[in-house]
Amino acid sequence: MAAPRLLRLNAALAETLGLEPAFLASPEGVAILAGNAVPEGAASLAMAYAGHQFGQFVPQLGDGRALLLGEVVGRDGQRRDIQLKGSGLTAFSRQGDGRAALGPVLREYILAEAMAALGIPTTRALAAVATGETVRRERALPGGVLVRVASSHIRVGTFQFFAARQDLEGLRLLADHTIARHDPHLAGSPAPYLGLLEAVVARQADLVARWLLVGFIHGVMNTDNMALSGETIDYGPCAFLEGYDPATVFSSIDHYGRYAYGNQPPIAQWNLARLAECLLPLLAEDEEEALAQARAALGGFWPRFEAAWLDGMRRKLGRRRRGRRMWRWSRTCWTA
Protein backbone atom coordinates (compact mmCIF):
# COMPACT_ATOMS: atom_id res chain seq x y z
CA MET A 1 0.00 0.00 0.00
CA ALA A 2 1.30 3.40 -0.91
CA ALA A 3 0.60 5.25 2.33
CA PRO A 4 -1.36 3.14 4.85
CA ARG A 5 -3.08 5.04 7.61
CA LEU A 6 -4.89 3.52 10.58
CA LEU A 7 -8.43 4.84 10.73
CA ARG A 8 -9.82 2.71 13.52
CA LEU A 9 -8.38 0.14 15.89
CA ASN A 10 -10.60 -2.05 18.03
CA ALA A 11 -8.40 -1.90 21.11
CA ALA A 12 -10.74 -3.96 23.28
CA LEU A 13 -10.77 -6.79 20.74
CA ALA A 14 -7.00 -6.57 20.37
CA GLU A 15 -6.63 -7.04 24.11
CA THR A 16 -8.93 -10.07 24.01
CA LEU A 17 -6.79 -11.56 21.26
CA GLY A 18 -3.65 -11.04 23.33
CA LEU A 19 -2.34 -8.38 20.95
CA GLU A 20 -0.78 -5.09 22.00
CA PRO A 21 -2.87 -2.12 20.78
CA ALA A 22 0.09 0.27 21.02
CA PHE A 23 2.13 -1.91 18.67
CA LEU A 24 -0.73 -2.30 16.20
CA ALA A 25 -1.07 1.50 16.08
CA SER A 26 2.67 1.95 15.44
CA PRO A 27 4.08 2.23 11.88
CA GLU A 28 5.26 -1.39 12.09
CA GLY A 29 1.84 -2.55 13.24
CA VAL A 30 -0.01 -0.56 10.59
CA ALA A 31 2.23 -2.11 7.93
CA ILE A 32 1.02 -5.55 9.05
CA LEU A 33 -2.63 -4.46 9.20
CA ALA A 34 -2.37 -3.04 5.68
CA GLY A 35 -0.69 -6.13 4.25
CA ASN A 36 2.65 -4.43 3.59
CA ALA A 37 4.44 -6.69 6.09
CA VAL A 38 3.91 -10.23 7.32
CA PRO A 39 4.15 -10.88 11.06
CA GLU A 40 6.80 -13.28 12.23
CA GLY A 41 5.70 -16.89 12.00
CA ALA A 42 2.75 -16.15 9.72
CA ALA A 43 2.19 -17.95 6.42
CA SER A 44 -0.62 -16.06 4.69
CA LEU A 45 -2.98 -17.88 2.33
CA ALA A 46 -6.15 -17.37 0.33
CA MET A 47 -8.77 -20.06 0.90
CA ALA A 48 -10.46 -22.01 -1.88
CA TYR A 49 -14.13 -22.93 -1.76
CA ALA A 50 -17.11 -23.57 -4.00
CA GLY A 51 -20.69 -22.41 -3.56
CA HIS A 52 -24.25 -21.98 -4.72
CA GLN A 53 -24.58 -18.33 -5.74
CA PHE A 54 -28.26 -17.35 -6.09
CA GLY A 55 -29.01 -21.05 -6.46
CA GLN A 56 -26.43 -21.76 -9.18
CA PHE A 57 -23.50 -24.00 -8.27
CA VAL A 58 -19.99 -22.73 -8.98
CA PRO A 59 -17.36 -25.42 -8.32
CA GLN A 60 -14.41 -23.04 -8.05
CA LEU A 61 -14.52 -19.89 -5.95
CA GLY A 62 -12.14 -18.56 -3.31
CA ASP A 63 -10.82 -15.51 -1.50
CA GLY A 64 -10.36 -13.05 -4.33
CA ARG A 65 -9.35 -10.16 -2.09
CA ALA A 66 -8.74 -11.75 1.30
CA LEU A 67 -5.66 -13.24 2.90
CA LEU A 68 -5.68 -15.33 6.06
CA LEU A 69 -2.70 -14.20 8.13
CA GLY A 70 -3.03 -17.01 10.64
CA GLU A 71 -4.56 -17.99 13.95
CA VAL A 72 -4.18 -16.61 17.44
CA VAL A 73 -5.26 -18.02 20.79
CA GLY A 74 -6.69 -15.18 22.81
CA ARG A 75 -6.55 -14.47 26.50
CA ASP A 76 -9.94 -16.15 26.78
CA GLY A 77 -8.45 -19.38 25.41
CA GLN A 78 -10.39 -19.15 22.14
CA ARG A 79 -8.68 -19.75 18.80
CA ARG A 80 -9.48 -17.24 16.05
CA ASP A 81 -8.49 -16.42 12.49
CA ILE A 82 -7.11 -13.03 11.52
CA GLN A 83 -7.75 -12.10 7.92
CA LEU A 84 -6.98 -9.09 5.73
CA LYS A 85 -9.77 -8.10 3.36
CA GLY A 86 -8.77 -5.87 0.46
CA SER A 87 -5.01 -6.33 0.69
CA GLY A 88 -4.42 -7.32 -2.95
CA LEU A 89 -4.43 -10.01 -5.60
CA THR A 90 -4.75 -13.70 -4.74
CA ALA A 91 -4.86 -16.88 -6.77
CA PHE A 92 -8.66 -16.53 -6.84
CA SER A 93 -8.95 -12.87 -7.87
CA ARG A 94 -9.88 -13.79 -11.46
CA GLN A 95 -10.50 -10.46 -13.22
CA GLY A 96 -10.56 -8.47 -9.97
CA ASP A 97 -7.85 -6.31 -8.45
CA GLY A 98 -7.96 -7.81 -4.97
CA ARG A 99 -8.57 -4.40 -3.46
CA ALA A 100 -11.45 -3.00 -1.42
CA ALA A 101 -12.98 0.45 -1.44
CA LEU A 102 -12.84 2.28 1.86
CA GLY A 103 -16.63 2.71 2.08
CA PRO A 104 -17.44 -1.03 2.28
CA VAL A 105 -14.54 -1.51 4.70
CA LEU A 106 -15.99 1.05 7.11
CA ARG A 107 -19.46 -0.38 6.55
CA GLU A 108 -18.39 -3.90 7.53
CA TYR A 109 -16.48 -2.55 10.54
CA ILE A 110 -19.57 -0.75 11.83
CA LEU A 111 -22.03 -3.55 11.07
CA ALA A 112 -19.90 -6.34 12.51
CA GLU A 113 -19.34 -4.47 15.74
CA ALA A 114 -23.02 -3.47 15.92
CA MET A 115 -24.05 -7.11 15.59
CA ALA A 116 -21.55 -8.10 18.27
CA ALA A 117 -22.96 -5.43 20.56
CA LEU A 118 -26.45 -6.82 19.92
CA GLY A 119 -25.26 -10.24 21.05
CA ILE A 120 -25.51 -11.81 17.59
CA PRO A 121 -22.70 -14.21 16.62
CA THR A 122 -20.55 -12.48 14.03
CA THR A 123 -17.10 -12.04 12.63
CA ARG A 124 -15.41 -9.05 14.26
CA ALA A 125 -13.49 -6.05 12.99
CA LEU A 126 -10.03 -5.50 14.45
CA ALA A 127 -9.00 -2.53 12.33
CA ALA A 128 -9.84 -0.37 9.33
CA VAL A 129 -6.93 1.00 7.31
CA ALA A 130 -6.88 3.58 4.51
CA THR A 131 -4.39 2.48 1.85
CA GLY A 132 -3.54 5.84 0.32
CA GLU A 133 -4.38 4.33 -3.06
CA THR A 134 -7.33 4.59 -5.42
CA VAL A 135 -9.49 1.68 -6.54
CA ARG A 136 -11.62 1.91 -9.64
CA ARG A 137 -15.18 0.67 -9.61
CA GLU A 138 -17.93 2.66 -11.33
CA ARG A 139 -15.71 5.60 -10.37
CA ALA A 140 -12.44 6.18 -8.56
CA LEU A 141 -12.71 5.53 -4.82
CA PRO A 142 -10.26 5.61 -1.90
CA GLY A 143 -8.96 2.16 -0.98
CA GLY A 144 -9.09 0.42 2.37
CA VAL A 145 -8.31 -2.82 4.19
CA LEU A 146 -10.46 -4.48 6.83
CA VAL A 147 -8.78 -6.70 9.40
CA ARG A 148 -11.38 -9.34 10.14
CA VAL A 149 -11.46 -11.79 13.06
CA ALA A 150 -13.48 -15.02 12.97
CA SER A 151 -13.77 -18.24 14.93
CA SER A 152 -12.92 -19.77 11.56
CA HIS A 153 -13.52 -19.15 7.88
CA ILE A 154 -14.85 -22.66 7.19
CA ARG A 155 -17.95 -22.34 5.05
CA VAL A 156 -20.56 -24.67 3.58
CA GLY A 157 -18.81 -23.83 0.32
CA THR A 158 -15.54 -25.16 1.73
CA PHE A 159 -17.14 -28.60 2.03
CA GLN A 160 -18.68 -28.23 -1.41
CA PHE A 161 -15.22 -27.64 -2.88
CA PHE A 162 -14.03 -31.09 -1.81
CA ALA A 163 -17.36 -32.82 -2.47
CA ALA A 164 -17.46 -31.49 -6.04
CA ARG A 165 -14.08 -33.10 -6.65
CA GLN A 166 -15.18 -36.35 -4.98
CA ASP A 167 -12.20 -35.97 -2.66
CA LEU A 168 -13.44 -38.15 0.19
CA GLU A 169 -10.17 -38.02 2.09
CA GLY A 170 -10.03 -34.23 1.87
CA LEU A 171 -13.67 -34.07 2.97
CA ARG A 172 -12.96 -36.28 5.98
CA LEU A 173 -9.92 -34.23 6.97
CA LEU A 174 -11.93 -31.01 6.69
CA ALA A 175 -14.76 -32.47 8.79
CA ASP A 176 -12.30 -33.65 11.43
CA HIS A 177 -10.64 -30.22 11.49
CA THR A 178 -14.03 -28.52 11.84
CA ILE A 179 -14.98 -30.80 14.72
CA ALA A 180 -11.67 -30.12 16.45
CA ARG A 181 -12.16 -26.40 15.97
CA HIS A 182 -15.84 -25.96 16.81
CA ASP A 183 -17.20 -29.15 18.38
CA PRO A 184 -14.32 -30.96 20.09
CA HIS A 185 -16.74 -32.89 22.30
CA LEU A 186 -17.75 -34.86 19.18
CA ALA A 187 -14.27 -36.26 18.60
CA GLY A 188 -14.34 -39.96 19.37
CA SER A 189 -18.13 -40.11 19.55
CA PRO A 190 -19.97 -42.94 17.78
CA ALA A 191 -21.29 -40.62 15.02
CA PRO A 192 -19.09 -37.49 14.92
CA TYR A 193 -20.10 -36.35 11.42
CA LEU A 194 -23.80 -36.61 12.15
CA GLY A 195 -23.13 -34.70 15.36
CA LEU A 196 -21.34 -32.02 13.35
CA LEU A 197 -24.29 -31.63 10.99
CA GLU A 198 -26.73 -31.42 13.90
CA ALA A 199 -24.56 -28.82 15.63
CA VAL A 200 -24.32 -26.65 12.51
CA VAL A 201 -28.07 -26.91 11.96
CA ALA A 202 -28.69 -25.72 15.53
CA ARG A 203 -26.21 -22.85 15.24
CA GLN A 204 -27.69 -21.60 11.99
CA ALA A 205 -31.27 -21.87 13.25
CA ASP A 206 -30.36 -19.76 16.29
CA LEU A 207 -28.41 -17.28 14.16
CA VAL A 208 -31.14 -16.63 11.61
CA ALA A 209 -33.73 -16.26 14.39
CA ARG A 210 -31.53 -13.57 15.93
CA TRP A 211 -31.25 -11.83 12.57
CA LEU A 212 -35.02 -11.65 12.26
CA LEU A 213 -35.44 -10.38 15.80
CA VAL A 214 -33.46 -7.24 14.97
CA GLY A 215 -34.73 -6.88 11.39
CA PHE A 216 -31.41 -7.81 9.79
CA ILE A 217 -31.21 -8.83 6.14
CA HIS A 218 -27.96 -10.50 5.11
CA GLY A 219 -28.59 -9.88 1.45
CA VAL A 220 -26.42 -12.61 -0.09
CA MET A 221 -26.98 -15.93 1.67
CA ASN A 222 -24.95 -17.97 -0.81
CA THR A 223 -23.56 -21.22 0.56
CA ASP A 224 -20.07 -19.72 0.49
CA ASN A 225 -21.36 -17.05 2.88
CA MET A 226 -22.55 -19.51 5.56
CA ALA A 227 -19.94 -20.24 8.21
CA LEU A 228 -20.02 -23.52 10.12
CA SER A 229 -19.12 -21.59 13.27
CA GLY A 230 -22.61 -20.06 13.26
CA GLU A 231 -21.22 -16.55 12.87
CA THR A 232 -22.57 -13.89 10.53
CA ILE A 233 -19.97 -13.53 7.79
CA ASP A 234 -19.42 -11.37 4.69
CA TYR A 235 -21.33 -8.12 5.13
CA GLY A 236 -22.14 -7.04 1.60
CA PRO A 237 -25.51 -5.58 0.57
CA CYS A 238 -27.04 -6.01 4.02
CA ALA A 239 -29.20 -3.71 6.09
CA PHE A 240 -31.79 -3.48 8.84
CA LEU A 241 -35.52 -3.14 8.16
CA GLU A 242 -36.91 0.35 8.62
CA GLY A 243 -40.50 -0.77 8.22
CA TYR A 244 -41.71 -4.37 8.48
CA ASP A 245 -42.06 -6.01 5.10
CA PRO A 246 -40.95 -9.63 4.70
CA ALA A 247 -40.34 -9.07 0.97
CA THR A 248 -37.67 -6.44 1.59
CA VAL A 249 -34.49 -7.03 -0.41
CA PHE A 250 -31.20 -5.15 0.00
CA SER A 251 -29.21 -6.53 -2.90
CA SER A 252 -29.39 -4.81 -6.28
CA ILE A 253 -28.77 -8.12 -8.07
CA ASP A 254 -31.37 -10.14 -6.13
CA HIS A 255 -34.04 -9.53 -8.75
CA TYR A 256 -36.37 -12.30 -7.57
CA GLY A 257 -36.11 -11.77 -3.82
CA ARG A 258 -34.34 -15.04 -3.10
CA TYR A 259 -32.60 -13.51 -0.08
CA ALA A 260 -35.41 -11.25 1.10
CA TYR A 261 -35.93 -10.79 4.84
CA GLY A 262 -38.76 -13.33 4.98
CA ASN A 263 -36.91 -15.93 2.93
CA GLN A 264 -33.88 -16.17 5.20
CA PRO A 265 -35.06 -19.14 7.32
CA PRO A 266 -35.95 -21.44 4.38
CA ILE A 267 -32.78 -20.40 2.54
CA ALA A 268 -30.73 -21.25 5.63
CA GLN A 269 -32.26 -24.73 5.67
CA TRP A 270 -31.64 -25.04 1.91
CA ASN A 271 -27.99 -24.18 2.43
CA LEU A 272 -27.77 -26.71 5.24
CA ALA A 273 -29.18 -29.35 2.90
CA ARG A 274 -26.23 -28.65 0.59
CA LEU A 275 -23.89 -29.26 3.52
CA ALA A 276 -25.71 -32.49 4.31
CA GLU A 277 -25.20 -33.63 0.72
CA CYS A 278 -21.46 -33.15 1.13
CA LEU A 279 -21.41 -35.15 4.36
CA LEU A 280 -23.43 -38.13 3.09
CA PRO A 281 -20.37 -40.33 2.38
CA LEU A 282 -19.18 -39.74 5.94
CA LEU A 283 -22.52 -40.42 7.64
CA ALA A 284 -22.92 -44.06 6.62
CA GLU A 285 -21.70 -46.53 4.01
CA ASP A 286 -25.28 -47.37 3.06
CA GLU A 287 -26.74 -44.52 1.00
CA GLU A 288 -30.30 -44.90 2.30
CA GLU A 289 -29.07 -44.88 5.90
CA ALA A 290 -26.97 -41.77 5.22
CA LEU A 291 -29.97 -40.03 3.65
CA ALA A 292 -32.19 -40.93 6.60
CA GLN A 293 -29.65 -39.50 9.05
CA ALA A 294 -29.28 -36.31 7.01
CA ARG A 295 -33.06 -35.80 6.75
CA ALA A 296 -33.46 -36.28 10.49
CA ALA A 297 -30.74 -33.73 11.21
CA LEU A 298 -32.21 -31.19 8.79
CA GLY A 299 -35.64 -31.79 10.29
CA GLY A 300 -34.38 -30.25 13.49
CA PHE A 301 -33.99 -26.84 11.86
CA TRP A 302 -37.56 -25.54 12.05
CA PRO A 303 -38.34 -26.55 15.65
CA ARG A 304 -35.04 -24.99 16.78
CA PHE A 305 -35.62 -21.84 14.73
CA GLU A 306 -39.21 -21.39 15.87
CA ALA A 307 -38.29 -21.88 19.52
CA ALA A 308 -35.43 -19.35 19.29
CA TRP A 309 -37.59 -16.79 17.46
CA LEU A 310 -40.54 -17.13 19.82
CA ASP A 311 -38.31 -16.96 22.89
CA GLY A 312 -36.73 -13.78 21.56
CA MET A 313 -40.10 -12.18 20.76
CA ARG A 314 -41.43 -13.04 24.21
CA ARG A 315 -38.42 -11.36 25.79
CA LYS A 316 -38.96 -8.30 23.61
CA LEU A 317 -42.59 -8.10 24.69
CA GLY A 318 -41.94 -8.96 28.32
CA ARG A 319 -44.10 -12.05 28.12
CA ARG A 320 -43.55 -15.37 29.82
CA ARG A 321 -43.97 -18.57 27.87
CA ARG A 322 -47.50 -19.92 28.19
CA GLY A 323 -49.22 -22.90 26.67
CA ARG A 324 -48.09 -24.96 23.74
CA ARG A 325 -49.32 -22.89 20.85
CA MET A 326 -47.26 -23.64 17.75
CA TRP A 327 -46.37 -21.02 15.19
CA ARG A 328 -45.20 -21.60 11.64
CA TRP A 329 -43.21 -19.47 9.28
CA SER A 330 -44.73 -18.46 5.99
CA ARG A 331 -43.28 -16.31 3.21
CA THR A 332 -45.32 -13.34 4.41
CA CYS A 333 -45.80 -13.52 8.18
CA TRP A 334 -45.94 -15.58 11.31
CA THR A 335 -49.20 -17.44 11.67
CA ALA A 336 -50.69 -19.38 14.52
Q: Which residues are catalytic?
A: 224
Chain centroid offset of residue 308 CA: 20
pLDDT higher than 60, residue 333: no
The pLDDT tens digits of the residues spanning 32-74 come to 999 999 888 888 899 999 999 999 999 999 999 999 999 999 9
Residue type, 57: F
Residue type, 46: A
pLDDT higher than 90, residue 325: no
**Global pTM value:** 0.92
The pLDDT tens digits of the residues spanning 265-304 come to 999 999 999 999 999 999 999 999 999 999 999 999 999 9
DSSP label of 290: H
The predicted structure's pLDDT at residue 335: 46
